[in-house]
Structure 1
Protein backbone atom coordinates (compact mmCIF):
# COMPACT_ATOMS: atom_id res chain seq x y z
CA UNK A 1 0.00 0.00 0.00
CA UNK A 2 1.16 3.47 -0.85
CA UNK A 3 0.88 6.59 1.28
CA UNK A 4 -2.36 8.28 0.27
CA UNK A 5 -0.74 11.71 -0.05
CA UNK A 6 1.42 10.62 -2.96
CA UNK A 7 -1.32 8.95 -5.01
CA UNK A 8 -2.70 10.40 -8.19
CA UNK A 9 -6.46 10.34 -8.70
CA UNK A 10 -6.12 7.44 -11.12
CA UNK A 11 -3.95 5.43 -8.72
CA UNK A 12 -6.32 5.99 -5.80
CA UNK A 13 -9.36 5.11 -7.92
CA UNK A 14 -7.73 1.91 -9.22
CA UNK A 15 -6.70 0.79 -5.74
CA UNK A 16 -10.16 1.64 -4.41
CA UNK A 17 -11.72 -0.54 -7.12
CA UNK A 18 -9.44 -3.41 -6.06
CA UNK A 19 -10.42 -2.94 -2.42
CA UNK A 20 -14.12 -3.01 -3.34
CA UNK A 21 -13.63 -6.17 -5.42
CA UNK A 22 -11.91 -7.91 -2.49
CA UNK A 23 -14.65 -6.89 -0.08
CA UNK A 24 -17.38 -8.01 -2.48
CA UNK A 25 -15.66 -11.34 -3.07
CA UNK A 26 -15.65 -12.10 0.63
CA UNK A 27 -13.56 -14.88 2.07
CA UNK A 28 -11.51 -12.56 4.26
CA UNK A 29 -11.40 -12.51 8.02
CA UNK A 30 -13.18 -9.80 9.95
CA UNK A 31 -9.84 -8.15 10.71
CA UNK A 32 -8.83 -8.19 7.02
CA UNK A 33 -12.24 -6.85 6.01
CA UNK A 34 -11.97 -4.00 8.49
CA UNK A 35 -8.48 -3.13 7.24
CA UNK A 36 -9.74 -3.14 3.65
CA UNK A 37 -12.71 -0.97 4.61
CA UNK A 38 -10.43 1.54 6.35
CA UNK A 39 -8.10 1.64 3.34
CA UNK A 40 -11.10 2.13 1.08
CA UNK A 41 -12.29 5.07 3.16
CA UNK A 42 -8.86 6.71 2.90
CA UNK A 43 -8.73 6.12 -0.84
CA UNK A 44 -12.23 7.53 -1.30
CA UNK A 45 -11.09 10.66 0.59
CA UNK A 46 -8.09 10.99 -1.75
CA UNK A 47 -10.37 10.74 -4.78
CA UNK A 48 -12.77 13.30 -3.33
CA UNK A 49 -9.93 15.75 -2.63
CA UNK A 50 -8.73 15.42 -6.23
CA UNK A 51 -12.24 15.99 -7.54
CA UNK A 52 -12.80 18.97 -5.23
CA UNK A 53 -9.50 20.48 -6.40
CA UNK A 54 -10.44 19.97 -10.03
CA UNK A 55 -13.81 21.65 -9.45
CA UNK A 56 -12.11 24.62 -7.78
CA UNK A 57 -9.73 24.99 -10.72
CA UNK A 58 -12.61 24.84 -13.19
CA UNK A 59 -14.59 27.40 -11.21
CA UNK A 60 -11.56 29.71 -11.05
CA UNK A 61 -10.97 29.36 -14.81
CA UNK A 62 -14.62 30.12 -15.53
CA UNK A 63 -14.54 33.15 -13.23
CA UNK A 64 -11.35 34.44 -14.87
CA UNK A 65 -12.91 33.99 -18.28
CA UNK A 66 -16.05 35.82 -17.21
CA UNK A 67 -13.92 38.71 -15.90
CA UNK A 68 -12.25 39.01 -19.31
CA UNK A 69 -15.57 39.37 -21.08
Structure 2
Protein backbone atom coordinates (compact mmCIF):
# COMPACT_ATOMS: atom_id res chain seq x y z
CA UNK A 1 0.00 0.00 0.00
CA UNK A 2 2.89 2.38 0.68
CA UNK A 3 3.74 2.33 -3.04
CA UNK A 4 0.23 3.50 -3.98
CA UNK A 5 -0.51 7.04 -4.97
CA UNK A 6 -3.31 8.87 -3.19
CA UNK A 7 -5.44 8.54 -6.32
CA UNK A 8 -4.86 4.78 -6.57
CA UNK A 9 -5.77 4.29 -2.91
CA UNK A 10 -8.90 6.41 -3.28
CA UNK A 11 -9.96 4.47 -6.40
CA UNK A 12 -9.49 1.17 -4.58
CA UNK A 13 -11.48 2.50 -1.64
CA UNK A 14 -14.33 3.39 -4.00
CA UNK A 15 -14.19 -0.13 -5.49
CA UNK A 16 -14.44 -1.60 -2.01
CA UNK A 17 -17.49 0.52 -1.20
CA UNK A 18 -19.20 -0.67 -4.39
CA UNK A 19 -18.40 -4.30 -3.60
CA UNK A 20 -19.72 -3.98 -0.06
CA UNK A 21 -22.94 -2.42 -1.32
CA UNK A 22 -23.64 -5.48 -3.46
CA UNK A 23 -25.36 -8.50 -1.95
CA UNK A 24 -23.02 -10.91 -3.74
CA UNK A 25 -20.11 -10.54 -1.30
CA UNK A 26 -19.79 -13.24 1.36
CA UNK A 27 -19.51 -12.33 5.03
CA UNK A 28 -15.83 -13.31 5.17
CA UNK A 29 -15.09 -11.32 2.01
CA UNK A 30 -16.97 -8.36 3.42
CA UNK A 31 -14.90 -8.37 6.59
CA UNK A 32 -11.66 -8.57 4.57
CA UNK A 33 -12.79 -5.75 2.29
CA UNK A 34 -13.87 -3.65 5.27
CA UNK A 35 -10.45 -4.14 6.88
CA UNK A 36 -8.68 -3.16 3.65
CA UNK A 37 -10.96 -0.14 3.38
CA UNK A 38 -10.04 1.04 6.87
CA UNK A 39 -6.35 0.70 6.04
CA UNK A 40 -6.80 2.63 2.80
CA UNK A 41 -8.79 5.32 4.59
CA UNK A 42 -6.00 5.76 7.15
CA UNK A 43 -3.41 5.86 4.36
CA UNK A 44 -5.36 8.55 2.49
CA UNK A 45 -5.78 10.59 5.67
CA UNK A 46 -2.03 10.52 6.29
CA UNK A 47 -1.35 11.63 2.71
CA UNK A 48 -3.81 14.52 3.06
CA UNK A 49 -2.27 15.57 6.38
CA UNK A 50 1.21 15.59 4.81
CA UNK A 51 0.00 17.80 1.97
CA UNK A 52 -1.75 20.15 4.42
CA UNK A 53 1.51 20.47 6.38
CA UNK A 54 3.43 21.34 3.21
CA UNK A 55 0.87 23.93 2.18
CA UNK A 56 0.93 25.49 5.65
CA UNK A 57 4.72 25.77 5.47
CA UNK A 58 4.57 27.37 2.03
CA UNK A 59 1.95 29.85 3.18
CA UNK A 60 3.97 30.66 6.27
CA UNK A 61 7.12 31.82 4.54
CA UNK A 62 6.94 31.12 0.83
CA UNK A 63 9.09 28.00 0.87
CA UNK A 64 9.01 24.49 2.28
CA UNK A 65 11.09 24.09 5.41
CA UNK A 66 10.63 22.61 8.83
CA UNK A 67 9.56 25.00 11.54
CA UNK A 68 8.77 24.97 15.21
CA UNK A 69 5.11 25.61 15.90
CA UNK A 70 6.01 27.57 19.04
CA UNK A 71 8.44 29.80 17.13
CA UNK A 72 7.21 33.25 16.13
CA UNK A 73 7.70 34.34 12.53
CA UNK A 74 7.72 37.97 11.42
- Bigger mean CA offset, 56-65 vs 9-18: 56-65
Q: How does 1:1-69 map to 2 (within 5 A)?
A: 4-65=1-62
- Max Rg structure: 2
Q: Secondary structure at the match of 1:13?
A: helix
RMSD between aligned residues: 1.4
Task: Give SS of 1:5's match.
Answer: coil
Q: Higher relative CO (CA 8 A, sep ≥ 6), structure 1 or 2?
A: 1
Runs of 4+ more than 2 Å apart: none
Larger helix fraction of residues:
1
**Structure 1-normalised TM-score?**
0.85
Instruction: Report the Cα distance in structure 1 between the residues aligned to 2:35 and 2:19, rounded to whole angstroms.
Output: 13
Query: Partner of 2:34: helix, strand, or coil?
Result: helix
Q: Secondary structure at the match of 1:17?
A: helix
